[in-house]
Amino acid sequence: MKKAVLILILSLPIGRLMAQKGNQKVNSFQIDIGIGFLSPTFTSFPGSNLKIGGVISLEPKFAITRHWFIGLRGEGGIGVNGTNNNQGSDSASFTPSQGSTFVSGLVTCNYYFTTTPFRPFLGVGAGFMDTHYYKNRFKKQNSNQQIAGLAEMARAGFEMDHFWMDAEYNLAPLLEPGSIRNGYISIKLGLYFGSGKKN
């Protein structure tokens, strides 16, 4: 997460240089395709100290204005909590102890700060997420719980040419009333393809 924030900060001077080219027409419709890493935010079992995973997404977006876009994000991810055995030694290994899968469909709202080739943005989303939580190396008979329901998302990122990058925080449905919201943090890179122009 810290690396993503650092990259976004270092990209700001690039944005100022790109802004000197002046405003341009933006796509009235575009499709974002992304892949990246995720880190589950659910509580680890005792001894767990690593949280890793992967995520892939597809998101068509429609321009309401040159700065506001409405989208529909479909995303799937898998995360694992585990123990880094013999840390610091040549024989270090990873033992998974808890896992999760996330499949979601969210309506998104995104605000782009510029209409230049470099376009930083912020966004939020809400919709449906189906989650599964597993114990003991994803053995189905030891499944912790499965739940589906309301999910939310917040993001920050940028587009440049036909590439984009963002960092997202996703909240999964409540496991039970009064419990802590689970979810994941993701860092994604991707491409977008657009058509039409918004004046």
Whole-number Å distance between alpha carbons of 45 and 134: 11
59 domain-assigned: yes
| Coil, strand or helix at 4 | helix
Give the pLDDT score at 84.
Answer: 57
Q: Is 199 a domain residue?
A: no
Q: What range does the domain containing 49 cover?
A: 2-194
pTM value is 0.76
Q: What are phi and psi of 46, to 5 degrees?
A: -55, 130
Q: What is the pLDDT of residue 51?
A: 77
Residue 32 counted as domain residue: yes
CATH number at residue 104: 2.40.160.20
pLDDT at 57 (0 to 100): 98
* DSSP secondary structure of 86-110: TTTSTT-EEEEEEEEEEEEEEEEEE
pLDDT in tens, the chain (199 residues): 555 445 445 454 444 444 444 566 778 999 999 999 998 876 544 444 567 899 999 999 999 999 999 999 999 999 887 655 555 555 555 555 677 889 999 999 999 999 998 999 999 999 999 988 777 655 554 556 778 899 999 999 999 989 999 999 999 887 766 667 788 999 999 999 986 666 5
Is 130 a domain residue? yes
DSSP for 19-68, written as a single string: HTT----B-SEEEEEEEEEEEE-SPPPTT--EEEEEEEEEEEEEESSSSE
The total domain count for the chain is 1
Separation CA 94–CA 100 (nearest Å): 17
Residue 146: name the closest of 176, 124, 108 by CA: 176
**C-alpha torsion angle, residues 111, 117, 188, 152 (rounded to 10):** 10
What pLDDT does residue 86 have? Answer: 57
In a domain, 58, yes or no: yes
Position 181 scores a pLDDT of 76
Q: Does 20 reside within a domain?
A: yes
* pLDDT, position 45: 41
- In a domain, residue 22? The reply is yes
The whole-number pLDDT of residue 19 equals 42
